[in-house]
């Protein structure tokens, strides 16, 4: 298979028709059709079911799509990297982070980089912690910022940040008058929380167990920002990481500390033994500064503390 075939496939997946794909690529419809047919012949299975000008992706096409998108992104990065090398420039940066850290933590850190180290080419993608780790292991990105635990072989963990999770509620909620919310008070509310059972959600459950109470009603979502938006319209009290709560402020909500400490841990990772650019090395340090500016009470742990920290919250 060649690059033109993959581009045609990605364009048809995006546009939903061969005609639309041709317009995206600046190629004729017959050319796109031929490229798709050649790719199907090489793969040995159909990618689309045809019905006039419209096409419907097969299940196998959906399974292939993410890999093709990643490959094309890699090719584009290689092209840009080659251009930077030709210009004697080395200021490209590819980052991946969980949604909370991509929106609440990385933008201010990037803004703090010195003018001479501001990336000339920047990619910042938001993924689940598991997908972000895989991107770092595959070396398709330079740095990842993910929630813990992260014990995968093939990673360098540079440092660990720890901060207490918080409650976010509508500004007109009766609970807004309370300076600190107890677990007993929270257990009586409709709660909105992150659904991943192995990371943040597990620590919330443990905190309620330790307090001897059990919440009656929990709404699940997959990002802290969505949980905050739900709290803003009065659907419940959101239990979220502090970086989203303070780094992506919303009007119409208040943020309150929780009486029981529910720690949020995140780590900065790169592929093991992979050389880092001067820009990436600077960002590793700048992230410490920006995260402490956002959350003065944040604790920075050395990477060697990972196992002990995880043992402290998951043991038993």
**What does the pLDDT read at residue 120?**
81
**What does the pLDDT read at residue 266?**
93
Residue where a domain terminates, one of 243, 261, 279: 261
**What does the pLDDT read at residue 90?**
58
- Is residue 76 located within the same domain as residue 158? no
Instruction: Give dist(CA 254, CA 173) in Å, integer.
Output: 9
Quote the radius of gyration of the chain (alpha carbons, Å). Answer: 23
- Is residue 125 located within the same domain as residue 272? yes
Q: Can you give the residue range of the structural domain that contains 214?
A: 166-261
- Is residue 234 located within the same domain as residue 176? yes
**What does the pLDDT read at residue 85?**
63
pLDDT tens digits for range 195-245: 776 667 888 888 999 999 999 899 999 889 999 999 999 999 999 999 999
Residue by residue, pLDDT tens for the chain (316 residues) are 788 999 999 988 888 888 888 888 889 989 998 999 999 999 999 999 887 667 889 999 998 988 888 788 777 767 766 766 665 455 689 999 999 899 999 999 999 999 889 988 889 999 988 899 999 998 889 999 998 888 888 999 999 999 999 999 999 999 999 999 999 999 999 999 987 766 678 888 889 999 999 998 999 998 899 999 999 999 999 999 999 999 998 999 999 999 999 999 999 999 998 889 899 999 999 999 999 999 988 999 999 999 998 887 766 5
CA distances from 301 to 104, 266, 308 (A): 20, 10, 11
- Is residue 226 located within the same domain as residue 185? yes
Residue where a domain terminates, one of 81, 102, 129: 81
- Is residue 96 located within the same domain as residue 52? no
What DSSP string runs through 5-54?
HHHHHHHHHHHSBHHHHHHHHT--HHHHHHHHHHHHHHHTS--EEEETTE
- Is residue 176 located within the same domain as residue 245? yes
Instruction: Give dist(CA 110, CA 181) in Å, integer.
Output: 34
- Is residue 156 located within the same domain as residue 268? yes
Instruction: Tell me the pTM.
Output: 0.73
3-state DSSP assignment of residue 157 = strand
- Is residue 271 located within the same domain as residue 147? yes
- Is residue 153 located within the same domain as residue 281? yes
- Is residue 172 located within the same domain as residue 246? yes
CA distances from 15 to 8, 36, 56, 57, 157 (A): 10, 14, 11, 11, 40
**What does the pLDDT read at residue 182?**
96
The domain spanning residue 37 has which CATH number? Answer: 1.10.10.10
Q: How many domains does the chain have?
A: 3
**What does the pLDDT read at residue 303?**
94
pLDDT tens digits for range 59-82: 999 989 888 887 887 777 677 667
How many other C-beta atoms can be found within 10 angstroms of the C-beta atom of residue 194?
Answer: 25
Instruction: Give dist(CA 82, CA 15) in Å, integer.
Output: 30
- Is residue 221 located within the same domain as residue 252? yes
- Is residue 43 located within the same domain as residue 125? no
Phi and psi at 95, nearest 5°, equal -125, 150
The domain spanning residue 218 has which CATH number? Answer: 3.40.190.10
Q: Which residue has the tokens 């500004």?
A: 171
């Amino acid at each position: 298979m060649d690059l033109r075939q993959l581009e045609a496939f990605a364009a048809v997946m995006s546009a939903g028709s061969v005609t639309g794909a041709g317009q995206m690529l600046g190629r004729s419809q017959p050319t796109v059709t031929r490229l798709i047919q050649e790719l199907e012949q090489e793969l040995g299975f159909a990618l689309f079911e045809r019905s006039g000008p419209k096409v419907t992706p097969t299940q196998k096409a959906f399974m292939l799509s993410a890999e093709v998108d990643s490959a094309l992104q890699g090719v584009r990065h290689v092209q840009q990297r080659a251009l930077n090398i030709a210009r004697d420039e080395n200021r490209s940066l590819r980052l991946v982070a969980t949604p909370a850290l991509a929106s609440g933590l990385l933008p201010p850190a990037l803004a703090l980089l010195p003018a001479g180290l501001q990336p000339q080419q920047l990619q910042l993608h938001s993924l689940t912690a598991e997908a972000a780790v895989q991107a770092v292991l595959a070396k398709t990105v330079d740095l990842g910022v993910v929630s813990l635990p992260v014990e995968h072989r093939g990673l360098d963990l540079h440092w660990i940040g720890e901060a207490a999770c918080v409650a976010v509620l509508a500004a007109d909620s009766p609970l807004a008058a309370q300076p600190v919310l107890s677990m007993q008070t929270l257990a009586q509310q409709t709660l909105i929380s992150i659904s991943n059972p192995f990371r943040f959600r597990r620590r919330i459950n443990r905190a309620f167990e330790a307090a001897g109470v059990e919440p009656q009603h929990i709404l699940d979502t997959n990002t802290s920002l969505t949980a905050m938006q739900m709290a803003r319209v009065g659907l419940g009290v959101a239990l979220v990481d502090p970086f989203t709560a303070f780094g992506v402020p919303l009007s119409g909500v208040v943020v309150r500390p929780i009486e029981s400490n529910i720690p949020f841990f995140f780590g900065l990772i790169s592929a093991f033994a992979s050389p880092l650019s001067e820009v990436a090395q600077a960002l590793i340090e700048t992230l410490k500064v920006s995260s402490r500016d956002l959350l003065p009470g944040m604790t920075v742990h050395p990477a060697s503390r990972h196992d002990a920290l995880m043992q402290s919250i998951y043991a038993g």
